[in-house]
Amino acid sequence: MESEVESKSHICKEFSRKLRNRERRRYTEEFADEEIEGRRTFSVEDKLSSADFDSLFVKEMRGEELNLKYLQEHGFDSPILVKTKTGLGIKMPDKNFSVNEVKQCVGSRRVVDVMDVSTQKNIEMTIKEWCRYYENPNRERLLNIISLEFSHTKLESLVESPTIVRQVDWVDWVWPKHLKHQQTESTNSIDDMKYPKVQKYCLMSVKGCYTDFHIDFGGTSVWYHILKGQKVFWLIPPSERNIQLYEQWVLSGKQTDIFFGDTVDQCARIRLNEGYTFFIPTGWIHAVYTPEDSLVFGGNFLHSFGIEKQLRIAQVEDITKVPSKFRYPFYSEILWYVLQRYVYCLTGKNHLTCNEDGTPLSESNVSGTLSSYSNHVSKVKNPGEAIHLTTFELNGLKAIIMWLSRLSPSKRSVPDLILNSEALLNDAKLLVDDHVLDDVRLSCTGKAVLFWNSKQKNSVNSFSTSQTSSSLSVTAQLRQIKNSVSSVRQDIVVSSIISKDFTSNVNHCKTSSINGSIQSNKNSSSDSSRRRRTRCKKCESCLRADCGECHFCKDMKKFGGPGRMKQSCIARQCMAPVLPHTACCMICGRDGWEKLVSGVVENETQSSLMECSKCWEIAHPICLKEKNGYSSCDGIISDELPNSWECPKCVISGKQSSSKPKSKPSSTSLSIVQNSSESQKQVTNSLVTVTSADSINKARSIK
């Protein structure tokens, strides 16, 4: 016994001596030494050149083809590549935009998570430190920024997501607008976050960066635009087998030893070049490599065309123990708001304690809007006007109801604005039952089911849906009323007109007044509001000062002239005039933001209206397609003038332009105008000068 104790004592002493004799590790101020087991044992370069990965699965499309109707018909289950920005409605900085300008826009002291490529772990740096690293050609480490969310910074105004993203993103269509408007903090601190702030990201990577296989948080879909550089993606479809293999791979802790793409049946590889826009659907497992220094903009979004898979990925995050910091913020809360918005938009019942603008409802109003309904939704609307849900939406709503119902009360995370969660679930179930027999063909309209109903000046929610003897439906008539009804805020989406709760406490519009309004507006629609383009306020000409030398400047009172001509300086003629906010579709009567025409636009996103440079008609491409059977691809879109094209009708008929070319002068033509009385006379008579691109020749003169 004693010998055994002595032996153990000897071992302990020997072990303790080894501990004392070990050399102490030293750490630099910037980085800690990495453990050997944190580094990859496979070669990414080998995977780049391997013939095992083809460009499978990826569907190449044009921007105008990727629209809401496409998602309603086909869903969003395959990656989509768009090689040019044309038709996407996307807005990006100039190609010369640099990392230093990112720093100026978001602030040099902004702290961001930076991924160490060798270990796939995050460290924190300021943007100032990052820029110093990025511009240093002698980089000791490979670092990568993939999580800089820049909403509510100066950079936000320079980047706009594709139109299709803005049409389906739940943050824009189900999250209470007044909460989003309350957001002031530009960082992603969850304590200061008023909404899921994941819509706009800036990704800055140096050559050689690699992000291992992952699924974007919450099953969000992603869009990327390569402003500079290149990216290589490995893509794995989210089949149930692949998801289970992914779970096992993550839980095994052997990510650095195993290239996950080798463990599945099919893995695609695609290279994205500068100017490409890429869309990744819900649940796709992907890895990313950066062949050269790159600057990329993108965003994450949840939507109604992949709900079941989104919930499956949320389950994967639970299984793999993903920390809350790396999950979609307010995930359960947004599911409640999805049910609330669908119930409200399809039945008119409000389950919130406030209006859309955040104004609290009185107890009587709340109790009235929460009463149970028994009639089918189709009975609320006029025959032929019932809204049909797509299969993706219907199955998704069922999945949300089941998901939330199974959660324990402590994990339901019911938002404070939801008055009665059980009543909302019950109404959502009734709603699903009402739409089980919806016609899939009638659900693919190219128009969103969800809408926002803005508050009106006299607190009137809507018009009544009285029947009319006109061949036009009430919805079609009200779309064409435009600005004739001053008592109603005209950014109301037409869908709201036929909601159930809007049939009470409303100002009744007689059929005759509706028809009269339509006829008068049709005849008296001002050519100036419909046709005259306005300054873009962004081009070089718009931003320069008056020259003081041209004929128009000499006429101005500030330069001593009589001020009779009232024309802008020749040097300041806009290079890319845009359609006015009051422009509307000649077919449906709505503007380029899918709203009834209003003099005020809430945001500066690109209008979806197109003006023909030959017949001058303004319309939505989808409206032309529905009315005449034209395809949007039959038109020829101008690359130089915003919202300008040759419409399919003119392309097919070969119609010639009926107006004289009108142009923006070059510096040469300016000197001619200034020194030649003959040129001055021509300018006086025609109010235009010569020389410019062909697209500008098709634009109207601008005051």
98 with 159, same domain: the answer is yes
Classify residue 356: in a domain, yes or no: yes
d(CA 163, CA 87): 9
Out of 233-237, 288-292, 526-530, which region has the weakest mean confidence (pLDDT)? 526-530
What's the rounded mean pLDDT across residues 343-352? 94
| Separation of alpha carbons 101 and 311, rounded Å | 38
Indicate if 285 and 337 belong to the same structural domain.
Answer: no
| 483 DSSP 8-state letter | T
Describe the crossing of helices 391-406 and 307-319 by its angle, rounded to 10 degrees.
30
Are 400 and 337 members of one domain?
yes
Q: What is the mean pLDDT of residues 492-503?
A: 36
d(C-alpha 173, C-alpha 341), whole Å: 8
**Residue 63 is assigned to a structural domain of this protein:** yes
Query: Mean pLDDT throughout 72-98?
Result: 95
Asked whether residue 462 carries a pLDDT value surpassing 80, the answer given is no
pLDDT for res 620: 86
Query: How confident is the model over 250-261, as pLDDT tens digits?
Result: 999 888 899 999
Handedness of CA 535, 611, 450, 151 (dihedral sign): negative
pTM: 0.62
Q: Which residues of 668-700 are buried (b: 16+ CB within 10 A; e: fewer)?
A: ebbebbbeeeebbebbeeeebbbbbbebbbbbb
User: Averaged over 426-441, what is the pLDDT?
Assistant: 94
219 Ramachandran zone, left/alpha/beta (phi>0; psi -120 to 50): left
- Whether the pLDDT of residue 455 is over 70: the answer is no
CATH of the domain at 286: 2.60.120.650
Q: Could you give the CA distance from residue 202 to residue 99 in angstroms, rounded to a whole number?
A: 10
Nearest to 334 by CA among 200, 172, 468: 172
Query: What is the per-residue pLDDT across 144-175, written as a single tens digit (0 to 9) for each?
Result: 999 999 999 999 999 999 999 999 999 999 99
Residue among 95, 94, 97, 105 nearest 156 (CA): 105
Is the same domain home to 356 and 297? no
C-alpha 408/C-alpha 396 separation (Å) is: 21
**Where among 453, 475, 501 does a domain terminate?**
453
Domain co-membership, 319 together with 207: yes
Whether residue 79 is predicted with pLDDT greater than 80 in this model: the reply is yes
**Is residue 685 domain-resident?**
no
> What is the DSSP track for 317-373?
HHHTT--GGGS-TTHHHHHHHHHHHHHHHHH----BSB-TTSPBPPHHHHHHHTS--
Q: Which of 61, 50, 402, 436 is nearest to 259 (CA)?
A: 50
Round to whole Å and give the CA distance between 331 and 314: 9
Are residues 183 and 297 located together in one domain of the fold? yes
533-562 mean pLDDT: 83
Look at residue 149 in the predicted model and tell me its pLDDT: 96
Sign, CA dihedral 372-376-378-381, equals: negative
Q: One-letter amino acid identity for 81?
A: L
Beta strands 143-149 and 201-205: pairing type? antiparallel
Q: Does the residue 107 lie in any domain?
A: yes
Task: Identify the residue with better confidence: 687 or 424.
Answer: 424
Window from 72-86, 181-195, 311-325, 392-406 with minimum mean pLDDT: 181-195
| Structural domain containing residue 619 | 579-591+608-652
What's the token pair of residue 703?
A: 């005051």
**Number of structural domains the chain divides into:** 4
- Res. 318 pLDDT band, cuts 50 70 90: very high
3-class secondary structure, 542: helix
Query: 235 - beta bridge partners?
Result: 268, 286
Residue 47, pLDDT above cutoff 80: yes
361 pLDDT higher than 80: yes
Are 264 and 204 contained in the same domain?
Answer: yes
Query: Is pLDDT larger for residue 225 or for residue 676?
Result: 225
Number of H helices, E strands in the chain: 26, 17
The total of other beta-carbon atoms located within 10 Å of residue 13's CB is 10
Q: What are phi and psi of 246, to 5 degrees?
A: -65, -45
24, part of any domain: no
Residue 370 lies in a domain: no
Distance CA 87, CA 639 (A): 10
Each residue's pLDDT tens digit, 173-210: 999 999 999 998 888 888 889 999 999 999 999 999 99
Determine the average pLDDT of the residues in 523-542. 63
> Which two tokens mark 9?
């004592």
* Whether residue 221 is found in the same domain as residue 96: yes
* pLDDT above 50: residue 139: yes
pLDDT above 70: residue 469: no
Mean pLDDT of the chain: 77
Output phi, psi for 149, to 5 deg. Answer: -90, 125
- Residue keyed to tokens 């404070």: 416
Beta strands in 609-677 (DSSP E): 610-612, 618-619, 636-637, 644-646
Q: Which pLDDT value is given to residue 640?
A: 74
Question: What's the confidence (pLDDT) of residue 364?
Answer: 52
> Minimum mean pLDDT among 46-50, 79-83, 189-193, 479-483: which range?
479-483
| Contact between 290 and 209 (Cβ < 8 Å) | yes
Q: Where are the alpha helices (DSSP H) in 373-526?
A: 377-380, 391-406, 421-434, 440-443, 474-479, 511-524
**Looking at residues 312-328, what average pLDDT do you find?**
95
Q: In what order do the strands lie in the sheet with 644-646?
A: 618-619, 610-612, 644-646, 636-637
Secondary structure (DSSP) of 199-250: S-EEEEE-TT-EEEEE--GGG-EEEEEEEES-EEEEEE---HHHHHHHHHHH
Q: Same domain for 67 and 90?
A: yes
Tokens describing residue 160: 């706009």
Which are the contacts of 597, defined by CB distance < 8 A and separation ≥ 6? 482, 483, 490, 582, 583, 584, 589, 590, 591
What's the longest Cα–Cα distance across the chain? 121
Q: Are residues 82 and 197 in the same domain?
A: yes
19 part of a folded domain: no
Alpha-carbon distance of 341 to 336, in angstroms, equals 9
Residue 518 confidence class, pLDDT cut points 50, 70, 90: very low
Per-residue pLDDT band at 656 (split at 50, 70, 90): low
Please report which helix (H) or strand (E) contains residue 540, including its range: helix 540-543
**Order of all β-strands in the sheet with 121-126:** 59-60, 80-82, 277-280, 221-228, 294-301, 201-205, 143-149, 111-116, 121-126
Backbone phi and psi for residue 285, each to the nearest 5 degrees, phi listed first: -85, 125
- For residues 168 and 594, what is the distance between their CA atoms, to the nearest angstrom? 13
User: Domain for residue 9, yes or no?
Assistant: no
Do 68 and 209 fall into the same domain?
yes
Answer yes or no: is pLDDT of 498 > 60. no
Q: Encoding tokens for residue 83?
A: 């090689």
Looking at the fold, whether 566 and 622 belong to one and the same domain comes out as no
Question: Which residue, of 406, 438, 453, is where some domain finishes?
Answer: 453
Map 255-297 to HEC letters: CCCCCHHHCCCCCEEEEECCCCEEEECCCCEEEEECCCCEEEE
- With 70 as the cut, is the pLDDT of residue 590 above it? yes
Question: 637: which strand partners?
Answer: 645
CA distances from 97 to 100, 135, 509, 580 (A): 8, 14, 53, 29
Residue 505 has a CB neighbour count (10 Å cut-off) of 12
pLDDT tens for 211-240 read 999 999 999 999 999 999 999 999 999 999
